[in-house]
Amino acid sequence: MASRKKARIPRVGFVSLGCPKAASDAEQILTRLRAEGYEISGSYAGADLVVVNTCGFIDAAVEESLDAIGEALDENGRVIVTGCLGAKGTIVQDTHPAVLAVTGPHALQEVMDAVHAHLPPRHDPFVDLVPAQGIRLTPDHFAYLKISEGCNHRCSFCIIPGLRGPLVSRPIGEVLKEAETLAAAGVKELIVISQDTGAYGVDVRYRTGFAGGRPVRTRLYELCRELGELGMWLRLHYVYPYPSADDLLPLMAEGKLLPYLDVPFQHASPRILKLMKRPGDVDKVLERVTAWRKAVPDLTIRSTFITGFPGETETEFNELLDFLDIAQLDRVGCFAYSPVEGAAANALPGALPEEVREERKLRLLRHQEDISTQRLEAKIGRTLTVLVDDIDEEGAIARSQGDAPDIDGVVYIVDGHELEVGDFAEVTITDCDVHDLYAELTPMRAVP
C-alpha cells in the first residue's frame, strides 16, 4: 500500500521588539500560531516566513524595528510586520517594499489572515494541541496580563493614542479566566499592564460582566479583588495618581495586591505638566503619596520622568528635583525628551538641545541615587519574602515585592544555590547598593 506523504509542518520565525504590551500581543499571536499547528522556528533559515513585531515609540525604536525587518528580509526573505511601527503611515512599506504584509499593534486576526494567505496551515489535530495557558515569552513563574488596549489621554509627548486608538477594556470575565489559567499553569506572579491601568472599564462605564457565573463590575478595584484570590503575587503597572488609586490601598493592606505602585508622574512643574497635558496639581499628588504611605508603610513607589521637555527652564527642572526630595520615591526611571515624530509637543516653542536634555537626565538620576539608596538601606536587617528568578555560581537572583522584573533592582541571595527558579524564599537583607539588595537565607527558608 502506498504510504500517504505527510505535509511538512509550516514553520514561522518570530522576532518581538518593544514593551510588555507588545510582548503580550506577541504571546497572543504565538499562541494562535501554535494552536493552528504552526511550529515556531528558532532560526531564520528554518522558517517558512518570519513575523516581526515592531515598536515605534521613539526614534531609536523605529530604527531598531526597521533594522530587524531588514535583517529578517535578508536572512529569510518572507516577512510579515506587525506592531506599533505598522501603524505609522507607510514607513515600513517605503523602507522595505518587499514585506508581505503590514498590520498595526493588537491585530491578532489581521496577522493570522496574512500568515494564512502566505503560509496556509497544515491540518493535523495533534499539532493543534497547545498548553492551556498559551505560549508565553516570560519565564514560567511570572506573566504579564494585559487588561486593556489604547488610551483616552492625549499627553502631548506621546503618540500611543494615535497608534493604538482609544481605550478598549477587555471583558472582565475573559481577563479573570486568563489569570486562572495562568495560576493553574504554576505562574507565581501576575503583572497587570495596559496604557492606563486605573482607567480599566471607563470605556464600558464599568459595566457588570460575569466571571464563573457571578456578576463582577469591569473596574480595577473589583479586578484586583478577584485576582487577589488566586494566590499569586499581583503587581500593577501604569496607575495614574487619580483618586481611584486610593481604593487599591486596602487590598494591599490585606495582602491581596503587592504593595507596589508604578505611577508615571513625568514631571513636577505645574507649567510643564500643563504643556504635557497631564494632571498638574503637584500638591495633591504629594498629599496622595503621603496618604498611601500612611495606609501601607511598606509601599514601593516607582515612577518615570522626562527631562528637557520643550521650554523647560532650569528653575522648572529644579522643581522636579525638589519634588523627588519630598516624594522620596523608591525607584525612578528617566528619559531625556525625545521629539517622537507625530507628537504634538514637537510644535511647542523652546526646544532644548540634546546635550541639555541628556545632562538634566543624568543630573536627575544622580540626585535620585541617594534617595533610592537610603530607601534600600532601611531594609537592611529585615526579613523579606522573595521570588527566585535565576540561579548562578554566586547564588540566587530574586526579587522582593518591591521589584518588578527587568525595570527594578534584584535581591542577590549569596547562599541561595540550592533554591530553584520560581521558588519563594525568606531572606534577611544584609547589604545594598544603589539598585540592589544583598541577602542570606533565613533559617526555615522555604515558604510553602
The answer to whether residue 196 forms part of the interface with ligand SF4 (CB under 6 A) is: yes
Alpha helices in 18-146 (DSSP H): 20-35, 59-75, 91-95, 108-118
Based on CB atoms, which residue is closest to ligand SF4, 318 or 346? 346
Contact 180, 143 (CB under 8 A): no
- Minimum CB separation of residue 250 from ligand SF4 in Å reads 25
Beta strands 331-336; 300-307: pairing state: parallel
Residue of 153, 288, 367, 379 interacting with ligand SF4 (CB under 6 A): 153
CA 52 – CA 72 distance, rounded (Å): 8
- Sheet strands (E) in 174-259: 189-193, 208-211, 214-217, 233-236
Is residue 197 a contact point for ligand SF4 (CB under 6 A)?
no
* 133-152 positions binding ligand SF4, by CB under 6 A: 151
Candidate segments 12-20, 46-54, 155-163, 435-443, binder of ligand SF4 by CB under 6 A = 155-163
**What is the C-alpha radius of gyration for the chain, rounded to an integer number of angstroms?**
23
Min CB(243)–ligand SF4 separation in Å: 17
Nearer to ligand SF4, 203 or 431 (CB): 203
Q: What is the smallest separation between the CB atom of 164 and ligand SF4, expressed in angstroms?
A: 8
Whole-number Å distance between alpha carbons of 132 and 254 = 30
Residue 167 touching ligand SF4 (CB under 6 A): no
Based on the shown chain and the rule CB under 6 A, indicate whether residue 33 belongs to the binding site for ligand SF4: no
Shortest distance, CB of residue 196 to ligand SF4, whole angstroms? Answer: 5
Integer Cα distance of 48 and 76 in angstroms: 8
Instruction: Report the distance separating Cα 409 and Cα 422, nearest Å.
Output: 17
Q: Does 161 bind ligand SF4 (CB under 6 A)?
A: yes
Number of residues counted as binding ligand SF4 (CB under 6 A): 9
Q: How far is the CB of 271 from ligand SF4 (least distance, A)?
A: 18
Asked whether position 263 contacts ligand SF4 by CB under 6 A, the answer is no
Q: How far apart are CA 285 and CA 273, in angstroms?
A: 12
CB 241 to ligand SF4: min, Å: 12
